[in-house]
Amino acid sequence: MYSITGLAALRMGVGVSLLCAPKLVLTTIFPFLLPYTGPVAVATRMLGCRDIALAALFYTHHTRRRTTTTTTTVMDDHENREKSNIQLKQALTAGIITDSLDVIGYLWCFGEGMLALEGLPYLIGPAVGMLGLGLYGYYHRSR
C-alpha cells in the first residue's frame, strides 16, 4: 500500500519539477548530460506531464480503494475492492510499460551514439527504480 503512495508521490515530484523548472533540473542535476536547448526543454516538459498523469492515475485508484461507504453490504464491499484492485493493477501496468519503454529508449539512444556512457546511469537509474516500485506494487496487489 505504501509503495503505491510512494510511487505516486515520487512521480508527482519529478513531474512537477520537470514541468515547472526544466532548466534548473537539467543544469543542476544533469549538467553534463544535455545542453539546455529548445527541443530539450520541450522533451523535458513532456516527460514531466507524463509523470504527473501517471502519478494522478496511481493516486486516484489507490485512494478510491480506501473510500468505501459504511452502508454497503459485505458482498458489495468485496466487489468494490475487487474492481478497484483490477483498476489499480491496470494503472500499475501502464506505469510498468512506460518505464520499460524508457529504459529501451535510453539504451537505443546510447546504441546510436546520441547518449554518452557517462549520462546513461543518470537516465536509466531512475527509470529502473520506478519500474521496480511499480513491479513491487503490482506483485503486492496480486497476492
Tell me how far apart the alpha carbons of residues 23 and 28 are, in angstroms, rounded to a whole number: 8
Run of H or E residues at 81: helix 74-111
The model's pTM is 0.71
Average pLDDT along the chain: 83
Residue 7's pLDDT is what? 85
56: its cell numbers: 494522478
Q: What ranges make up the beta strands (E) of 1-143?
A: none
Give phi and psi for 114, each to the nearest 5: -90, -5
Cell 508521490 found at: 9
CA 48 vs CA 77, 81, 87: distances in Å: 36, 31, 23
Cell 531512475 found at: 126
Confidence class for position 86, pLDDT limits 50, 70, 90: confident
Q: Could you list the residue range(s) of the whole structural domain that residue 7 is in?
A: 2-66+74-142
pLDDT digit string (tens) for 38-65? 888 888 898 899 999 999 888 887 665 5
Quote the number of domains for the chain. Answer: 1
Better-scored residue on pLDDT, 5 or 12:
12
Residue 17's pLDDT is what? 94
